[in-house]
Amino acid sequence: MSSLAAIAAKVRDGARLSDADALFLFESEDLLEIGELAAYANARKNGRRVFYNVNRHINYSNICANRCRFCAFRRDSAEAGGYLLGLEEIRSRAEEALRQGATEIHMVGGLHPELPFPFYGEMLRTVKALSTDLHLKAFTAVEIDHFSRISGLSVREVLLSLRESGLDSLPGGGAEIFAPSVRTEICAEKISGDRWLQVMEEAHGCGLRSNATMLYGHLENFSDRVDHLARLRDLQDRTGGFQAFIPLSFQPGNTSLQFGRELRSGGVDDLKTIAVARLYLDNFSNIKAYWVLLGEKIAQVALAFGANDLDGTVVDERIGHEAGAESPRGMTRGEILRLIRRAGREPVERDSLYREIRRH
Ligand code: V47
Task: Report CA(173)–ligand 1 centroid distance (Å).
Answer: 5
Q: What is the pLDDT of residue 265?
A: 76
Q: What is the pLDDT of residue 259?
A: 60
Residue pair 313/334 in contact (Cβ under 8 Å)? The answer is: no
346-350/49-53 β-pairing = parallel
Residue pair 126/90 in contact (Cβ under 8 Å)? The answer is: yes
Ligand 1 neighbour 306 (Cβ under 6 A): no
Ligand 1 neighbour 248 (Cβ under 6 A): yes
**Whole-number Cα distances in Å, 247 to 172, 207, 212, 302:** 10, 24, 8, 11
Render the burial of 312-338: b for 16+ CB within 10 Å, e for the rest: bbbbebbbbbbbebebeebbebeebbe
Task: Report CA(319)–ligand 1 centroid distance (Å).
Answer: 7
Q: Tell me which long-range contacts 82-89 makes (C-beta under 8 A, separation of at least 24).
A: 84/60, 84/112, 84/115, 85/58, 85/60, 85/61, 87/122, 87/123, 87/126
- Nearest residue CA, atom 17 of ligand 1? 173
Ligand 1 neighbour 290 (Cβ under 6 A): yes
Q: Tell me which long-range contacts 226-229 makes (C-beta under 8 A, separation of at least 24).
A: 226/19, 226/22, 226/23, 226/26, 226/280, 227/19, 227/178, 227/179, 228/175, 228/177, 228/178, 228/179, 228/193, 229/22, 229/276, 229/277, 229/280, 229/281
**Whole-number Cα distances in Å, 51 to 76, 209, 313, 352:** 37, 17, 12, 10
Q: What is the pLDDT of residue 346?
A: 98
Ligand 1 neighbour 319 (Cβ under 6 A): yes
Task: Report CA(171)–ligand 1 centroid distance (Å).
Answer: 9
Looking at every residue in the chain, the average pLDDT score rounds to: 96
Pocket test residue of 214, 248, 273 for ligand 1, highest count of atoms within 8 A of CB: 248
Q: Is residue 215 scored above 80 in pLDDT? A: yes
Sequence-separated (6 or more) residues with CB below 8 Å from residue 339: 291, 296, 299, 300, 310, 331
CATH number of the domain at 4-359, please?
Answer: 3.20.20.70
Ligand 1 neighbour 70 (Cβ under 6 A): yes
CA–CA dist 310, 232 (Å, integer): 21
Task: Report CA(89)–ligand 1 centroid distance (Å).
Answer: 23
Residue pair 193/179 in contact (Cβ under 8 Å)? The answer is: yes
Q: What is the pLDDT of residue 261?
A: 53
CA–CA dist 165, 70 (Å, integer): 32
Other C-beta atoms lying within 10 Å of the C-beta of residue 310: 27
Q: Is residue 80 scored above 60 in pLDDT? A: yes
Q: What is the mean pLDDT of residues 201-229?
A: 97
- Nearest residue CA, atom 13 of ligand 1? 250
User: What DSSP designation does 212 have?
Assistant: E
Q: What is the mean pLDDT of residues 336-342?
A: 98
Which ligand 1 atom sits nearest the alpha carbon of residue 174?
1
Residue pair 41/51 in contact (Cβ under 8 Å)? The answer is: no
For the chain, the structural domain boundaries read: 4-359
Q: What is the mean pLDDT of residues 81-89?
A: 98
Other C-beta atoms lying within 10 Å of the C-beta of residue 78: 7
Pocket test residue of 59, 108, 170, 319 for ligand 1, highest count of atoms within 8 A of CB: 319
**Whole-number Cα distances in Å, 348 to 54, 286, 298, 299, 330:** 11, 13, 20, 16, 18
Nearest to 165 by CA among 180, 178, 147: 147
| pLDDT tens digits, 274-285 | 999 999 999 999
Q: Is residue 62 scored above 60 in pLDDT? A: yes
Strands across the sheet with 356-359, in order?
309-312, 49-53, 346-350, 356-359
Q: Is the pTM of this model over 0.85?
A: yes
Residue 206, SS3? coil
Ligand 1 neighbour 179 (Cβ under 6 A): no
The DSSP H or E segment spanning 318 is none
CA–CA dist 293, 274 (Å, integer): 13
| pLDDT tens digits, 97-115 | 999 999 999 999 999 999 9
Ligand 1 neighbour 217 (Cβ under 6 A): no
Give the CB-side neighbour count of residue 327, counting CA atoms within 13 A: 26
Ranges assigned E (strand) in the chain = 49-53, 55-59, 104-108, 135-138, 169-170, 209-216, 242-249, 286-287, 309-312, 346-350, 356-359
Ligand 1 neighbour 186 (Cβ under 6 A): no
Q: Is residue 270 scored above 90 in pLDDT? A: yes
